[in-house]
Amino acid sequence: MLKPEIKNYVTPKHIRDYPTGPSFEAGHLVSINAGWRTFKPVVDINVCTGCYQCYLLCSDGAISKTDNKKIEFDYSFCKGCGVCAHECSFNAISMVKEELAK
């Protein structure tokens, strides 16, 4: 597994269905964070130089490297903080209002 993943979770119906100890499976996610965003980052692939500063500085790990040495966003987990756009030395990332983004 490369990173924690969304897994199907059946809500317990009875107190007996809850785990008895305070432990749980690692890397188990039940919901995405996309709904937090007002602005969404959009990268201009032609301007991106693949320096990966945004990748380094993303608190959510929502940026990944692509095979052609550029970046792509995981919009399910991007919270739209804008650090990537603000720190990009080449202005390759712009923050676009969510409903205006294609």
Mapped onto helix, strand or coil, the DSSP state of residue 5 is strand
Q: How far from 63 is each of 17, 40, 59, 68, CA to CA, in Å?
A: 36, 12, 10, 14
Q: Does 64 engage in binding with another protein (CB under 8 A)?
A: yes
Q: Does 59 engage in binding with another protein (CB under 8 A)?
A: yes
Among residues 43, 48, 58, 92, the one that binds another protein under rule CB under 8 A: 58
Asked if 44 contacts 68 with a C-beta cutoff of 8 angstroms, the reply is no
Instruction: For residue 80, count other CB atoms closer than 10 A to its CB.
Output: 21
**Shortest distance, CB of residue 99 to another protein, whole angstroms?**
18
Number of residues that bind another protein (CB under 8 A): 40
Q: Between 17 and 99, whose beta carbon lies closer to another protein?
A: 17
Q: Does 93 engage in binding with another protein (CB under 8 A)?
A: no
84 is written with which tokens? 């990537």
**Shortest distance, CB of residue 39 to another protein, whole angstroms?**
9
